[in-house]
A and B are shown apart, each in its own frame.
Chain A
Amino acid sequence: MSSAAAVAGAFLALLAAGYGLVALVARRMALYWFERLAASYLIGMASLSVVWIISSVLIPTIHPIWLTSGCSAVLGLAAWRCRVARPGDRPSGEAVGWATRVGTRAFEWPDVILASILSLEFLALTVASWRTSLGFDGVFNFEWKARLMFEHPAGQLPLPYLSDVSRAWSHPQYPLMVPFGELWVYTWLGRVDQAAIKMLFPLFFFALVAFLCGAVLRVAGRRMALASGVALGLMPPLTLLPGAASGYADVPLAAAVAGSVAFTFHALRKGDSEAVTLAGLLLAVATWTKAEGVVLSATLGVLGVLCLRLREGEQPPSISLRHSLGLVWMPAVAAVCWLVVQYRYGISAPDFVPLSARNVLDHIGRLPVIADLIVRELARPGHWGLVWPASAIAVVLAATGKQGLIASDRFLVGAIYLPLILYTLPFILSSWADVGEHVRSALPRLLVPLSPIALFFTVVTFCRGSYA
């Protein structure tokens, strides 16, 4: 099998598994084709990684690739048969087959221009990914784990690696979804190839754009959706560094978080329980993608449940508490499993001193420095295109509007600003000699998952203002 065919096979197998799971979870929900593709990519990668780990531990005599590929084929076929057998389960609204059509209005020239720019952005990112090397963390925090699993006879991450003090700098405590995606390509290819895995990352960016465009399309129309997608491609931290071209896990995390926020927002507006389940699954994916995914998932999950249940004076959603709690228990399962492994075999992160009252009191004086650096970063137009100041205007606009902050607004504002506040606190316990250097190095990455949500909230609020 040629290398190109092997890589294509790896991607198709991921998508087939994800497509199957998404089809089983969201039978009636109207999803756009690009949303379904994006969800299939992320959920497929995460679910196959779980099958891989379980099979490599329980049946070490058989290489996990066989069982995992078998699962992928079965899920793909099951979804196909499910679709053929149950035409009544087609998505509602403008449903055609397995995906919702992107509007019925013909494309006008501004739409064509925006769609062309968006396509060019994808092309440029793919070329840039192909030409450049993986970033520092892309190799040492993620690709290395993939290589270790690939070289292990049973396809496992060697447990001594998790507690190896000489390699604490490579963050053994980071979760494994991105390394698994790379391992998946290596296994299909039959060798380690740092060039081949670069193709994974433009697809994560595509997933991020797809979720944002789908969410904006539902509330503000096709043109605004295309413009929002184009805007994402104009934020360097999302595209080049530490963006999708670098092999870092921030854009994959951003894609999972954006999908979860988009589907929770849809559930809050339309009372769609399947959207909540998809959002919960994507929060589990976020937890399995990067360490701060735990913070994001916990915040978004609890916030989502509260907003779904507490809607004073608003039409109550037709979503049961059981469904709502999916936003909490799905990421919690992912987090607890990984944290147990870390507790048993891992070592503490080298970048922070242990949490204790004394350490907090000793370092609390850093807070003004940290806050100052965060505000400066948020206002940096070369990174975020002033989306943060614009989102502050949107908060004022939403809060002072006739309706005030409705549940979906409260959810979005909380989803943007609560993690931002929570991010500030760990830097107080930074073990770096220069805390400013630590903040400057980590902050752009931490803002990658939050900036698309800030853009979404801003666009939704401004459009509502325009239409009013």
Chain B
Amino acid sequence: MRAVESPRGLVAAGWLVLCAGFLYSGFATLRLYGQVLQESVVTGPFGTIDGFLKPVNLSSGSQLRLAVERAGWPSDADVVLRAPHEVLSRQDLYQVYYSTSYLLYPRRVWLDSPSASDGPTGRHESGSRRGSRYVVLIGSTNSLHHRHHPVSDMIALAAPP
């Protein structure tokens, strides 16, 4: 109580709080730097996007872009990224969806997944786009149809009829 009444006491208490806090956050910072230094180095011009596509077993985003170009999808196409609920976590699903949209620009990419509706960004009008002819499918090898063009064992392009 005396410390609160005396400005000097209050100042000393304030310095103590500040120093203790920065000691704590300093250790937290060191721990985070330790984690960063243990991770593998991200390289390459599109290194970040390549890393985001690891959940669908793609080593590089250019594989998906080249596959779409080879398939001759027009640049103004509406593309649907279709993913069953159980295949990817919500975080991974959005990561792959955003990366696909980044890679296939200027094509518009829509997400069609049961987990899209309960997420923060589950407002993508995916329902109205389900009839699109251009579909990127995410799934295990068994679930991919023989008519699909695989890009990896987790992702395939559905050929337009």
Contacts and interface: CB of A to CB of B under 8 A. Distances in A.
A393 B13 contact: yes
A193 B108 CA distance: 23
Interface string A80-91: 000000000000
Interface stretch (B40-48, B63-71, B133-141): B40-48
B1 interface: no
B11 A191 contact: no
Contacts of A140: 98, 102
A16 B20 CA distance: 42
B15 A133 contact: no
A192 B59 CA distance: 19
B36 A245 contact: yes
Contact of B36 (A132, A134, A396): A132
B25 to A, nearest CB: 4
Interface string A235-269: 11001110001000000000000000000000000
A228 to B, nearest CB: 10
B124 interface: yes
A166 B101 contact: yes
A164 B108 contact: yes
Given A167-B101, A236-B25, A431-B123, A401 B33 contact: no
Nearest to B124: A166
B75 to A, nearest CB: 12
A385 B48 contact: no
A51 interface: no
A386 B120 contact: no
A357 interface: no
A235 B13 contact: no
A13 to B, nearest CB: 22
Given A170-B98, A458-B18, A468 B7 contact: yes
A465 B9 CA distance: 10
Residue of B44, B48, B102, B108 with most chain A CB atoms under a 10 A cut-off: B48
Residue of A164, A231, A233, A386 with most chain B CB atoms under a 10 A cut-off: A386
Contacts of A431: 123
Interface in A377-404: 381-387, 389-390, 393-394, 396-397, 400-401
A166 to B, nearest CB: 4
A348 B154 CA distance: 34
Contacts of A233: 29
A148 interface: yes
A191 B25 CA distance: 39
B14 A240 contact: no
B109 A386 contact: no
Given A140-B102, A169-B98, A383 B18 contact: no
Given A133-B51, A169-B121, A383-B25, A458 B14 contact: yes
Interface stretch (A36-44, A361-369, A432-440): A432-440
Nearest to B79: A166
Q: Which of the four size classes fits the interface of chain A?
A: 35 or more
A462 B14 contact: yes
B125 interface: yes
Contacts of A381: 20-21, 24-25, 28
Interface in B46-88: 46-49, 51-52, 78
Interface in A329-360: 350-351
A384 B12 CA distance: 19
B152 interface: no
A431 B42 CA distance: 34
A262 B98 CA distance: 39
A54 interface: no
Contacts of A167: 101, 108
B17 A389 contact: yes
A144 B103 CA distance: 10
A5 interface: no
A128 B29 CA distance: 12
Residue of A139, A143, A148, A434 with most chain B CB atoms under a 10 A cut-off: A139
Contact of B48 (A134, A166, A382): A134
A139 B25 contact: no
Contact of A236 (B8, B28, B44): B28
A437 B120 contact: yes
Contacts of A458: 14, 18
Contacts of A270: none
A132 B120 contact: no
Given A236-B28, A382-B25, A397-B11, A195 B44 contact: yes
A139 B49 contact: yes
A234 B8 CA distance: 26
A386 B41 contact: no
Given A128-B36, A133-B47, A239-B29, A397 B14 contact: yes
A73 B32 CA distance: 41
B68 to A, nearest CB: 16
Contacts of B110: 166
A131 interface: yes
Contacts of A127: 37
A386 B125 CA distance: 43
26 contacts: A128-B33, A130-B41, A131-B37, A131-B42, A132-B39, A133-B52, A148-B105, A165-B125, A166-B101, A169-B121, A169-B124, A192-B45, A194-B44, A194-B45, A195-B44, A239-B32, A240-B36, A350-B121, A386-B17, A386-B24, A386-B25, A390-B21, A393-B13, A397-B11, A433-B118, A433-B119
> Which 6 pairs show the lowest CB-CB distances between chains A and B?
A386-B21, A385-B25, A465-B11, A385-B21, A166-B108, A133-B48
Interface of B: 7-8, 10-11, 13-15, 17-18, 20-22, 24-26, 28-29, 32-33, 36-37, 39, 41-49, 51-52, 78, 95, 98, 101-102, 105-106, 108-110, 118-125
